[in-house]
A and B are shown apart, each in its own frame.
Chain A
Amino acid sequence: AQSVTQPDIHITVSEGASLELRCNYSYGATPYLFWYVQSPGQGLQLLLKYFSGDTLVQGIKGFEAEFKRSQSSFNLRKPSVHWSDAAEYFCAVGAGSNYQLIWGAGTKLIIKP
């Protein structure tokens, strides 16, 4: 069965430091991969997506993610975080024509001043 694992429930990072949020998935073929961000009290917003091609994808707000097939991972990175990046981040997997996404449990990002 398809699944998505975000191993870190919370991550605390100092403002200006680099960030990496981990996402591992279980799926037989090449999936569609997504990162969404949820600011406090808000709905989710798409940060970036991978469908095919270049395994390093760029998203909004300075985020990027790298698809590594050998590790079944799609980790989210940002070189320098800002206080406004404090939010919860969700990794999701879609498979083929099935548009029903499988969601990770989320990682809450806390920014230290």
Chain B
Amino acid sequence: NAGVTQTPKFQVLKTGQSMTLQCAQDMNHEYMSWYRQDPGMGLRLIHYSVGAGITDQGEVPNGYNVSRSTTEDFPLRLLSAAPSQTSVYFCASEDRGLGELFFGEGSRLTVL
């Protein structure tokens, strides 16, 4: 079972560059979300989606865009990378919107 797949696992960017973190799930889950994890801060929600064509902002959305054209895919776009976006990013999906999340393995992003 593939579950939630994130790519790339590691990425180094220069300030001002843009990039897309890919996320795909094969469990037919309606809900998908992106979190960032920083030391001592737990997970913070960036954006989420309750179904294809529907997205909304989480706690820390600035500097990030998302789209949800299919149930399976939920890419996260960094428009103009900043050092403050250095973090580990996790994509997650869930079945019934009750918090039982399935996580990808994470993408470690460094912005120089």
Which residues of A pack against B, CB within 8 Å?
4, 9, 32, 34, 36, 41-46, 49, 51, 90, 92, 94, 97, 99-101, 103-106
A11 to B41, CA, bound (A): 17
Decide: B40 and A105 in contact? CB cutoff 8 A. Answer: yes
Is B43 an interface residue, CB under 8 A from the partner?
yes
B58 and A100: CB pair below 8 A? yes
From B31, B42, B44, B105, contact of A43 by CB (8 A): B105
> Binding site of A, secondary structure by majority: helix, strand, loop or mixed?
strand
Q: Which residues of B contact A (CB under 8 A)?
A: 4, 31, 33, 40-45, 48, 58, 90, 92, 94, 97-101, 103-106
* Cβ-neighbour of A90 out of B40, B43, B45, B106 (below 8 A): B43
Are B99 and A43 within 8 A (Cβ)?
no
Q: Are A9 and B40 in contact (CB under 8 A)?
A: yes
Q: Decide: B99 and A49 in contact? CB cutoff 8 A.
A: yes
Return chain B residues, CB-CB under 8 Å to A32: 98-99
